[in-house]
Amino acid sequence: MLGPLPGDFLQLSSDPTSRAAQQEAADRQAALALQQQFIPQMAAGAGAATGRLSITVVQAKLVKNYGMTRMDPYVRLRVGHCVYETHTDPSGGKNPRWNKIINCILPPGVHNVYLEIYDECSFTMDELVAWAHVPIPAVVMKGETHEDWYRLNGKQGDAMEGVINMVFSTSTTVPMVQMPYVASYPPVVMVPNTMMGYAPMAVYPAPAPAPRPGVPVPGQLPPSPAVIANPEPPPIVTLTEEELKQIQEMFPSIDKEVIKSVSEANRGNKDATVNSLLQMSE
């Protein structure tokens, strides 16, 4: 049986001097590399998706209002490896309404949606109020629309925190979709963990990389299907031990494993690795 998730789930550390912050920065670089490979292919519909999933997060009925004032709830939703958010319902309290439609690519093998409801706070971390694993209804995969109320887990216990109203529909075509949420929180790439199955790897805004042959560029037409039908992933390149030693002498306060992670994220480019480490040290 799953217990309550910690209150800082999917939240980012704010201490830039800690080793955890260094590791987070390395994760940022690695996640950026993953995002550049994963998101453009998904947006171009390169055969990696079964269709478009449309999720309408309508409203929730919670059993308790936590705090001295009415809560300002919003929903964080994960589909596959992408995370999306609704807007905040100011003073929504126990009965928040969003009516937020999220259009996203449905990757093959994904049969559940993972959601969390947070209370947005001004001077502290947003508080996790409720969460749920919602299975995508089988009728939706046949082209039908399905609406239902789903029970929420929380401090009151499993399936005891209230209910949330959601509408699911799909399409076999892959039109333009909504990209992961990037306003108040950066997009998140998930890696395996023991709690909900994945843990966050933060992705911060960064300058667009130089275009590479065979990789679609956002805002431009993708190459023909024959070119991207079975794209081969670029080989993983790492720095030599001598180069790693030189960089470690330049950044003695940064752990060697962190340097290796940043190097791999920059595909063995020494100059790019040094620039990334300089940004981490600022």
Instruction: Read off the pLDDT of residues 138-150 as tens digits, 9 standing for 90 and up.
Output: 898 888 999 999 9
- Segment 266-276 mean pLDDT: 79
pLDDT digits (tens, 9 = 90+) for 2-15: 556 655 555 554 55
Whether 110 maps to a domain, the answer reads yes
Q: Give the model's confidence band at 260: pLDDT under 50 very low, under 70 low, under 90 confident, else very high.
A: confident
pLDDT digits (tens, 9 = 90+) for 67-121: 889 999 999 999 988 999 999 999 999 999 999 999 988 888 889 999 999 999 9
Q: Give the helix ranges, DSSP H, for the chain.
A: 19-44, 225-228, 241-250, 256-265, 270-281
The residue type found at 53 is L
The residue type found at 27 is D
Please give the pLDDT value at position 68: 86
Please give the pLDDT value at position 192: 44
Given a cut of 50, whether residue 16 has pLDDT beyond it is no
Please give the pLDDT value at position 197: 45
Whether 149 maps to a domain, the answer reads yes
Give 40 or 160, the one with higher predicted confidence: 160
Whether 40 maps to a domain, the answer reads no
Give 190 or 52, the one with higher predicted confidence: 52
Whether 129 maps to a domain, the answer reads yes
Return the CATH number at 194. Answer: 2.60.40.150
Range name among 22-31, 120-129, 259-268 with the lowest pLDDT average: 22-31
Give the residue numbers spanning the domain of 151.
Answer: 51-201
Please give the pLDDT value at position 4: 61
Whether 271 maps to a domain, the answer reads no
According to DSSP, residue 139 is labeled G
Please give the pLDDT value at position 130: 96
Residue 88: CA count within 13 A, CB half-sphere: 16
- Round to whole Å and give the CA distance between 189 and 161: 27
Whether 239 maps to a domain, the answer reads no
- Round to whole Å and give the CA distance between 156 and 126: 18
Q: Which residues of 256-278 are buried (b: 16+ CB within 10 A; e: fewer)?
A: eebbbbbbbbbebeeebbbebbe
pLDDT digits (tens, 9 = 90+) for 157-205: 999 999 999 999 987 554 444 545 444 444 444 444 444 444 444 444 4
Domain count, the chain: 1
83 close to 77: Cβ distance less than 8 angstroms? yes
Please give the pLDDT value at position 98: 97
Please give the pLDDT value at position 196: 44
Whether 15 maps to a domain, the answer reads no
Neighbours of 186 (CB within 10 A): 18
Whether 109 maps to a domain, the answer reads yes
- Round to whole Å and give the CA distance between 275 and 282: 11
pLDDT digits (tens, 9 = 90+) for 213-241: 555 555 555 554 444 444 555 565 667 88
Q: What is the pTM of this model?
A: 0.49
Please give the pLDDT value at position 245: 83
